Amino acid sequence: MDIQKNLIGGEWIAGQESIASINPSDTNDVVGRFALAEAAQVRQAVAAARAAQPAWAATTTQVRSDLLQRTAHELFARREQIGELVSREAGKTRAEGIGEVTRASQIFGFFAGEAVRYGGENLPSVRPNIGVQTSREPIGVVGLITPWNFPIAIAAWKIAPALAFGNTLLLKPSEETPAVASELFRVLERNGLPAGVANLVNGHGAVAGAAIVDGVDALSFTGSVATGRKLAQSAVAKMVRVQLEMGGKNPLVVLDDADLPQAVECALNGAFFSAGQRCTASSRLIVTDGIHDRFVEALRARMREVQVGHALAAGTDIGPVINQRQLEMIQRYIAVGKDEGARLIEGGNVLERSTPGFFMAPTLFVDTRNDMRINREEVFGPFATVIRARDYEEALALANDTEYGLSAGICTQSHKHATHFRLNVKSGLAMVNLPTAGLDYHVPFGGTKGSSFGPREQGSYAADFYTLTKTAYIGH
Ligand code: NAD
């Protein structure tokens, strides 16, 4: 099998070592082999991006917009084919894979617009005969580090604004999803990417990822809290602008007056779809007394109907988890939950299917307390807990009692409670009668507390991270 290379300075370059990308639905299926960049190659990529940056920043906004628009068109036209690759490599169902590529296309299309739309302000000075003008300039070379769970969408929402605003970049994707990243760079290249403007360095996090901080002007990271905290320290020490999007322990509050079928669908989708491997997954279901037992029974019944299997098989609702390590970690948390005295009422077991893969039954614990480890730590799998609450006030307090703050949802028919929750829940995203996961591409995204650090991603807010604001005073 050919070893696929890294794109540095417009050349596809081999590495000393390589890794195999394995299909989590069928470990006999090797998706590809990929060259691993060492620190020296990362430095080469930083240098290539540095050399290409002035010319890229000097292009017209139309040139930048055209690259993004053409990329958007190709991704959309090939969404089924690339979506299948996403499913094969990341274990998403066919619909999820196609949906993610469609989303990536929409993000590129959105930033094709932003590239020509963004600008500054004219303001009156407080002094006579002076005008004040603000403008946005590119920040320079941007390092991007991404996880495996949205291998094309997250890359898109970092690459597209970086390019739109005149920056050059290097991307270090997850070791689990190098094929999707390579495919995206082939698409960019085919649609007019100049040499060095965007560089791809597949590699191990501790080697290639850690090396990215040296020499870049800004670093945007999405991944786990542990990695993010480490990276932030080295970035700040080097005065590198940093943006971190990390984990969640997202609450979904279900009040007595909720529409029961709607609340159950919100919980089922939020907790278990994409095998629970979403930073916005609903992992804590906080349910008030009056509806608790009916909700648990109805959710359990729906959980029994979902099909877990090969991501690309017809009828699959939930694909595998990403790898053996993740499967074992979920098993460890199931043991922790039992030891802590929580009651496992559904799932908890690894599933055998006709292909060797990492299939996990959707798992539900009840009778849990918010101070249990299973309610404090991100599990990142099809794993949810139910916490009983007396009333809305206690439910809100439980929702906020976490070190995370990414997404939070409430199911209720009460306008008063929905409004109060939206205003008082400590999270970056608040969802009313909707799952905690599932977002638009044109609006800001991010969390608070331990989940996020730095300015928001996506929408017009992305300019706050990917540009520098200059204030000019003009005397006349
Ligand atoms: P991870 O932290 O293990 O890896 C993320 C990326 O960081 C990978 O590319 C990895 O190679 C790299 N990395 C690892 N160690 C590094 C180091 N020492 N220095 C530099 N880079 C390093 O996370 P993961 O398992 O790939 O992804 C799952 C996590 O991502 C979950 O915690 C999830 O909640 C989070 N996530 C957050 C968002 C969000 O927007 N908030 C979105 C998706 C996923």
Is any atom of ligand 1 closer than 6 Å to the C-beta of 276? no
110 vs 68: CA distance, rounded Å? 9
Strands (E), 371-413: 383-389, 407-411
Sheet holding 11-13, edge to edge: 11-13, 6-8, 198-200, 168-172, 141-145, 218-222, 241-245, 452-453
Is any atom of ligand 1 closer than 6 Å to the C-beta of 205? yes
Q: For a pocket test of ligand 1, which of 6, 172, 174, 465 has the largest count of ligand atoms closer than 8 A to its C-beta?
A: 174
Q: What residue owns the CA closest to ligand 1's atom 39?
A: 245
Q: What is the DSSP letter of 308?
A: B
| CA 461 to mean position of chain CA atoms | 16
319 vs 307: CA distance, rounded Å? 9
Residue type (1 letter), 412: T
290 vs 295: CA distance, rounded Å? 10
295 vs 260: CA distance, rounded Å? 7
The three-class DSSP label of residue 18 is strand
Is any atom of ligand 1 closer than 6 Å to the C-beta of 311? no
Question: What's the residue count for the chain?
Answer: 476
Angle at which helices 94-117 and 79-90 pack, to 10 degrees?
A: 120
Is any atom of ligand 1 closer than 6 Å to the C-beta of 224? yes
CA of 59 from ligand 1 middle (Å) equals 33
Going by C-alpha positions, the residue among 322, 342, 388 that lies closest to residue 87 is: 322
32 vs 176: CA distance, rounded Å? 11
Does the active-site annotation cover 245?
Answer: yes
Q: What residue owns the CA closest to ligand 1's atom 28?
A: 223
Q: Which residue has the tokens 């990929």?
A: 34
- pLDDT at residue 1 in the model: 78
Please answer whether residues 154 and 146 qualify as being in contact, where contact means their C-beta atoms are separated by less than 8 angstroms.
yes
Is any atom of ligand 1 closer than 6 Å to the C-beta of 229? no
Show the low-confidence residues of the chain (pLDDT under 70). none
Is any atom of ligand 1 closer than 6 Å to the C-beta of 246? yes
Is any atom of ligand 1 closer than 6 Å to the C-beta of 223? yes
Is any atom of ligand 1 closer than 6 Å to the C-beta of 30? no
| 445, β-bridge pairs | 457
Q: For a pocket test of ligand 1, which of 279, 283, 321, 404 has the largest count of ligand atoms closer than 8 A to its C-beta?
A: 279
310 vs 351: CA distance, rounded Å? 11
412 vs 254: CA distance, rounded Å? 7
Return the exposure string of 401-419: e unless at least 16 CB atoms fall within 10 Å of the residue's CB, then b.
ebebbbbbbbbbeeeebbe
Whole-structure pTM value: 0.97
Is any atom of ligand 1 closer than 6 Å to the C-beta of 231? yes
Q: Please report the atom of ligand 1 found closest to the CA of residue 452.
A: 41
289 vs 188: CA distance, rounded Å? 53
18 vs 36: CA distance, rounded Å? 5
Return the exposure string of 437-450: e unless at least 16 CB atoms fall within 10 Å of the residue's CB, then b.
bebebeebbbbebb
Q: What residue owns the CA closest to ligand 1's atom 15?
A: 205
| CA 113 to mean position of chain CA atoms | 22
Does the active-site annotation cover 279?
Answer: yes
Sign of CA dihedral 48, 54, 58, 61: positive
Please answer whether residues 56 and 197 qualify as being in contact, where contact means their C-beta atoms are separated by less than 8 angstroms.
yes
41 vs 203: CA distance, rounded Å? 10
Q: What residue owns the CA closest to ligand 1's atom 35?
A: 223
- pLDDT at residue 139 in the model: 98
Please answer whether residues 405 and 449 qualify as being in contact, where contact means their C-beta atoms are separated by less than 8 angstroms.
yes
Catalytic position from the list 245, 266, 378, 457: 245
Residue 59, burial from CB neighbour count under 10 angstroms (0-12, 13-18, 19+):
middle
Going by C-alpha positions, the residue among 212, 205, 218, 234 that lies closest to residue 47 is: 212
458 vs 160: CA distance, rounded Å? 10
Q: Please report the atom of ligand 1 found closest to the CA of residue 248.
A: 34
The three-class DSSP label of residue 142 is strand
CA of 210 from ligand 1 middle (Å) equals 12
Residue 473, burial from CB neighbour count under 10 angstroms (0-12, 13-18, 19+):
exposed
Cα separation values, 472 from 34, 65, 131, 292, Å: 47, 26, 8, 59
279 vs 436: CA distance, rounded Å? 10
Q: What residue owns the CA closest to ligand 1's atom 18?
A: 206
Is any atom of ligand 1 closer than 6 Å to the C-beta of 323? no
444 vs 458: CA distance, rounded Å? 5
Catalytic position from the list 100, 279, 411, 457: 279
CA of 222 from ligand 1 middle (Å) equals 5
Residue 315, burial from CB neighbour count under 10 angstroms (0-12, 13-18, 19+):
exposed
